[in-house]
Structure 1
Amino acid sequence: MGLRFFVAGTDTGVGKTHVTAALLEASARGGYRCAGLKPVAAGAESTAEGLRNEDALLLQRHASYPLAYEQINPVLLEEAIAPHIAAERAGKRLSAERLVGYCRGVMMQPLDLLLVEGAGGWRVPLNSVETLAELPKRLQLPCILVVGMRLGCINHALLSVEAIRADGVPLAGWIANRVDPGMDCYQENRDTLTRMLGAPPLAELPFSPQGDIVATAQHLEPMVSRLLAKK
């Protein structure tokens, strides 16, 4: 059985999809069978194939194992707003049970690596009582946390890790993603996170102004090799 991880971010806009796609690219380049899921996505564009989410398409493009779009992104909401609000406005109801069922179907595929990407931060609501954190909890997926390195990242990261652990989800480690090239005291902030998070730093990524997935994948290849060598 291959490795399965849930990829979470400390907030929206921290490069979670970019990192997930780059992990897939690095895995594919290493000859591994890999795929990524975006179980629920808010924000769609009209294409010849119907409505599609840009992030989900990115995961599909960089995976080595072919999956239909509907397997990658089973729940697509047209408005680019909080998923539970987008669902309410579309007359739909999100539920953890349905999302878990979709993911379990793909988890049966012969994959070396499966990445399930969250939406926004850890406590994104699905409905009035459930959050997206139910997904890694019920699927028993360890979490990789993407920390957007910018002002406020220490607080966001510490609170996220506190919530992840409170939910009983194993934290596999964290990735420092430099989203602000002009961040003051970058190294001091990174050192503080390394000291306080109590989880291994898996990789450190430089600022990527053009969103170059292939270049980021090169930085992640050592991490991917370490992870998949243990499976």
Structure 2
Amino acid sequence: MNKKYSELAELFRSEKTDEEILDFLLNFHKNDIADMLAGMTEEERKRLYHLLGAQKTADVFKYIEDPRKYIKELTVESAARVISEMDSDDAVDLLENLDPQEKEQIVRMLDEDAKKDVVTLSAGLFTAPGGRVSPQAIEAVKDVADISGHLSRPLNKALLDAADLVVGLAADHKKVLLRQFPEMSDKIVTLGEWAGTNEDVADPFGGTQEEYDACAAQIKELLTKALAKLD
């Protein structure tokens, strides 16, 4: 046990207040604190994360080759706050190596304040306005959202001009848009491209409930991968 950790361990096990322990911690470089984590108990580390806060904890994790073990010691809310403070490349690498369920939970909570400023709209290339959603589509996403009141809208230039990002489900959608609006090539992608898989999402229109369910699951998976790549 090195001297630095011995001093910190002694403080944790003393009657010192959180403020006194934090003052002690601020004397060390984040790399030194990262080195101390392995010798601490889980309860000591949890107290340390609480004292440091999300930003300083993220700075400490930057010096750990594989911080998955320590991320798992945090609640989902705390893990999301820490990851949102990490460099984008480090955050993506960490998320990609988490269990799928844990990753999905964290991605859903990442930077909620920023997500509140995001507006999403659905529009179709070959659709009439005011069309109702099919019962199969409603059933396929019922655990995520209630879309029973959604009405179709055709895509138009005004919507494209207002958008920061236009996401099509298949390469054919992208090709149609680029033929009409080549000047917008920098913001038109497919969902597969955005997620980094380059796969298309097949249109389940007229298909079985199983096909709609599979489509919904594929979209959810691709969105999770795409959102994990955001800065």
Shared topology, TM-score over 0.5? no
Greater share of helix residues, 1 or 2?
2
Highest RCO, 1 vs 2 (Cα 8 Å, sep ≥ 6): 1
Provide TM-score, normalisation by structure 1. 0.33
Structure 2 length normalisation: TM-score? 0.33
Q: Which has the larger radius of gyration?
A: 2
Higher fraction of strand:
1
